[in-house]
Amino acid sequence: MAACVSAKHGILGSKASLVYCLHKKIRPTSICILRGSEIQSVRALANATVGSQYNEKYCLDLVRSRDYEGFLSSLLLPEEVRLSSLALRAFNVELAQVKDSVSQKTIGLMRMQFWKTAIEEIFRDDPPNQPVSTELWRAVKRHNLTKRWLLRIITEREKDLDDKAYRNIQELEAYSENTQSSLLYLLLECLGITNVHADHAASHLGKAQGIVTCLRATPYHSSRRKVYLPMDVCMLARSFSHNVPAAASSAFLLTVVLEDYLQRIRKADFDVFHKSVQKRNPLLPFHMYLRSWKKTY
């Protein structure tokens, strides 16, 4: 306990004590002086708060710069889920950019191993001192997220380091299921949704998202000359909509992005290199907000 002295007979030992007293709204006639251990506790709490704010901003900035559509959809989620969604999407971005940021596969494998170890440590309540890891740990604790989905994303991204073209649509669907769909399963867990129809929708929407992402990346990976049209996958995902809980629709807002891209590529006569396809739709945030308001996908 802090030792209390009269203002007439004692002075504050440190600025931390003054902050503590002001926070507690203690009367001037009964100012508290904190002991050394208590001062350290106050400082630790302040540092933890500053660190938390830094981690949150790091994830937000990373997702906003690398996954803009995911950033928009996260903002439209319920307030208690937004930070967790940003943490999950930041985690996904960290993994996705490994392939293009390393010059050797060995280095990429080392980074993937870091994340495998990080997940194990997160579930032991001992996350690495890294912004995304820390925020991911908070999301896991807050929503009791499933470790399997997180590890499945890492494993599939690790396989993709081989940089081999997909031999058929089934391989691309499998990759998308293990990455994009797994991310949607985690978002459903954040929303507290346990519904088999929502899971089915997440599975097919994840596949559609993965295929559209491959389409959008075609100019960047033009040497592969691979084009896949996921029209049937999108339609199958929507067939579950009448059984999916309305609360789950916010996890599937990226369907707006998929539809927007497919409509623009049709208008460009399916030319993935057309300039109009490469531009970002300025009305996309409005369309996503409208779909969120309607609680549909």
Between 238 and 65, where is the model more confident? Answer: 65
Per-residue pLDDT at 2: 41
DSSP state of 14: -
Neighbours of 267 (CB within 10 A): 12
Burial zone of 128 (CB within 10 Å; 0-12 exposed, 13-18 middle, 19+ buried): middle
Q: Is the pLDDT of residue 49 over 80?
A: no
Q: Which residues contact 293 (CB under 8 A, 6 or more apart)?
A: none
What whole-number distance in Å separates Cα of residue 181 and Cα of residue 119? Answer: 19
Whether the CB-CB separation of 254 and 291 falls below 8 Å is answered with no
Q: What share of the chain is helix, strand, coil (3-state, %, to 5)?
A: 70, 0, 30
Range from 58-67, 196-205, 228-237 carrying the lowest mean pLDDT: 228-237
Handedness of CA 274, 279, 283, 287 (dihedral sign): positive
Mean pLDDT score of the chain, rounded to an integer? 78
DSSP state of 161: G
Per-residue pLDDT at 45: 43
Handedness of CA 139, 62, 288, 170 (dihedral sign): negative
Q: What are residue 32's DSSP bridge partners?
A: 4
Q: Is the pLDDT of residue 218 over 90?
A: no
Between 5 and 162, where is the model more confident? Answer: 162
Q: Is the pLDDT of residue 183 over 70?
A: yes
Per-residue pLDDT at 155: 96
Q: Identify the band that residue 237 occupies on the pLDDT scale cut at 50, 70 and 90.
A: low
CA-closest candidate to residue 291, choices 251, 264, 245: 251
* Domain ranges, ordered by start, for the chain: 76-164, 175-297
Once rounded to an integer, what is the mean pLDDT over residues 22-36?
44
CA-closest candidate to residue 116, choices 77, 158, 84, 75: 158
Tokens of 191: 């929303």
What whole-number distance in Å separates Cα of residue 122 and Cα of residue 88? Answer: 13
Q: Detail the DSSP E strand segments found in the chain.
A: 3-5, 31-33
What whole-number distance in Å separates Cα of residue 181 and Cα of residue 176? Answer: 6
pTM score over 0.85: no
Q: CA 229, 279, 212 angle in degrees (round to 5)?
A: 20
Q: Is the pLDDT of residue 47 over 80?
A: no
What whole-number distance in Å separates Cα of residue 242 and Cα of residue 255? Answer: 16
Q: Is the pLDDT of residue 10 over 60?
A: no
Q: Identify the band that residue 43 occupies on the pLDDT scale cut at 50, 70 and 90.
A: very low
Once rounded to an integer, what is the mean pLDDT over residues 207-229?
67
Per-residue pLDDT at 211: 83
Residue 77: its H or E element: none
Whether the CB-CB separation of 108 and 161 falls below 8 Å is answered with yes
Per-residue pLDDT at 241: 65
Q: Is the pLDDT of residue 279 over 60?
A: yes
Residue 150: its H or E element: helix 147-159
What whole-number distance in Å separates Cα of residue 94 and Cα of residue 273? Answer: 27
185, 59, 82, 87: CA torsion to nearest 10: 30
Per-residue pLDDT at 272: 66
Q: Is the pLDDT of residue 89 over 70?
A: yes
Which of the residue ranges 7-16, 159-168, 201-210 has the most confident prediction, judged by mean pLDDT?
A: 201-210
Q: What are residue 4's DSSP bridge partners?
A: 32
Range from 15-19, 49-53, 155-159, 273-277 carrying the lowest mean pLDDT: 15-19
Q: Is the pLDDT of residue 209 over 60?
A: yes
